[in-house]
Amino acid sequence: MNAILPNSMLEATRLTREGKLGEASALLQTLFRGAAPAATAAPGPRTAAGAAAGRPPRIIDIDPETGEAAAPAAAAPGPAAFPWPAGGVGTTATPQMPDALRGFLDRINPGGLAQGLGGLAQGAAARAEPLPEGARFVAGTFTGAAGGRGYKLYIPAASRGAAMPLVVMLHGCTQSPDDFAAGTRMNALAEEHGCLIVYPGQTQAANAQKCWNWFSPADQQRDQGEPALIAGITRQVMRDHAVDPRRVYVAGLSAGGAAAAIMGQAYPELYAAVGVHSGLACGAARDMPSAFAAMRQGAGGPAEARSRQVMPTIVFHADKDHTVNPRNGDQVIAQSAASSTLRAEVQRGQVPGGHAYTRTLHADAAGRPVLEQWLVHGGGHAWSGGSVAGSYTDPRGPDASREMLRFFLEHPLAAGAA
């Protein structure tokens, strides 16, 4: 993840191009130490809703060149302690500031961020598959007290007015609803199972890299910030379409996975189950330094559950994920268990021609699996079993989309809980 304050970064870029490297260096170091810069460009639309409200710097959860994390050190007393993006300039040693600064600013310069998604990522432009006859993939918007967001809604051809399950899919950084739909292939599964799928879209005004702001305390609370927007989209779709209120689910990738964990903890009466792919537990971070620390090594302490009841949760994480440490998947499971005593059963398997995996089922006293954790061996920071039509996917499986939807449909809300 790269820390991003768009206006300040643009100012640093301008200073560098004018040869004022000392001023640009000082500005960047101030930003990555978490302090407010002494002078920035004129505030843009996001400033009024973000920086002016005292929010922490925004974070991108994937380095666009390598697919790996690129975290600044928490304590950065001087140029030598400032780490540059993995795989870029100065990978093994800190380079001289002027060259490193130019290289870094080139990487964050708008227009270059979406280029060359490395690792297992494919091109960011999703290749849309033709819709089955009678199906629709429509755009919508939601506006509420916390602001507004757009979304895409998939309505399967199989819909005949009967109440259907609804799955809310939260994309990762740099992605879009169309890209995430293409990469996960969730729309095709919606046709098989008769589900509605809604893809809320994060905006660049809220986050320069379109990341859900999972690390911001203002975006971790029920009926506030982004949770209020996502819940508002969910309820709007439920109001406007035939949705079974006992079968509403939320899932996401990376920053979207962390946001999904937040939604499950904040709205246990709305979402019957949660899917977290390569994400973090709710409350794993409260600011930029703790966000980078959690990504590197997991949250500093046990993730606190906000509900006394088990939140049915399925987790996918790869053991070679160098962007979000797989320990975070353990912490999502621990938080979802809500201190309940569950019995674990470990299974191992192998995708033909693909990855091996370990699947751990956590069952309640009645023997019903309520938590499910998949550890993909040899995989990286990408949607397991996804399509090359979208970004940040690993087609070598196992199929996270199919397994998540199967898990969701096994876990409706208890009668009367919706």
- Domains within the chain, CATH numbers bracketed: 3-108 (no CATH), 136-409 (3.40.50.1820)
Higher per-residue confidence, 63 vs 380: 380
A 10 A CB-CB count for 160 gives 9
Contacts of 99 (CB under 8 A, 6+ apart): 89
Q: What does the pLDDT average to over 229-248? A: 98
**pLDDT band, residue 53 (cuts 50/70/90):** very low
The stretches of 109-254 forming alpha helices (DSSP H) are 177-184, 186-193, 225-240
pLDDT given at position 305: 75
**pLDDT band, residue 81 (cuts 50/70/90):** very low
Alpha-carbon span 84 to 411, nearest angstrom? 44
Structure confidence by residue, pLDDT tens digits, 158-167: 777 789 999 9
pLDDT given at position 288: 84
Alpha-carbon span 360 to 314, nearest angstrom? 10
pLDDT given at position 390: 97
Q: Is it the case that residue 361 has pLDDT exceeding 80?
A: yes
Structure confidence by residue, pLDDT tens digits, 180-226: 999 999 999 999 999 999 999 999 999 999 999 999 999 999 999 99
pLDDT given at position 36: 42
Structure confidence by residue, pLDDT tens digits, 369-393: 999 999 999 999 999 999 999 999 9
Among the residue ranges 74-78, 153-157, 310-314, the one predicted with the least confidence is: 74-78
Among the residue ranges 46-60, 304-318, 403-417, the one predicted with the least confidence is: 46-60
Q: What does the pLDDT average to over 247-261? A: 98
Q: Is it the case that residue 357 has pLDDT exceeding 50?
A: yes
Alpha-carbon span 241 to 235, nearest angstrom? 10
What is this structure's pTM? 0.75
Helix (H) or strand (E) holding 167: strand 164-170
Q: What does the pLDDT average to over 71-85? A: 29
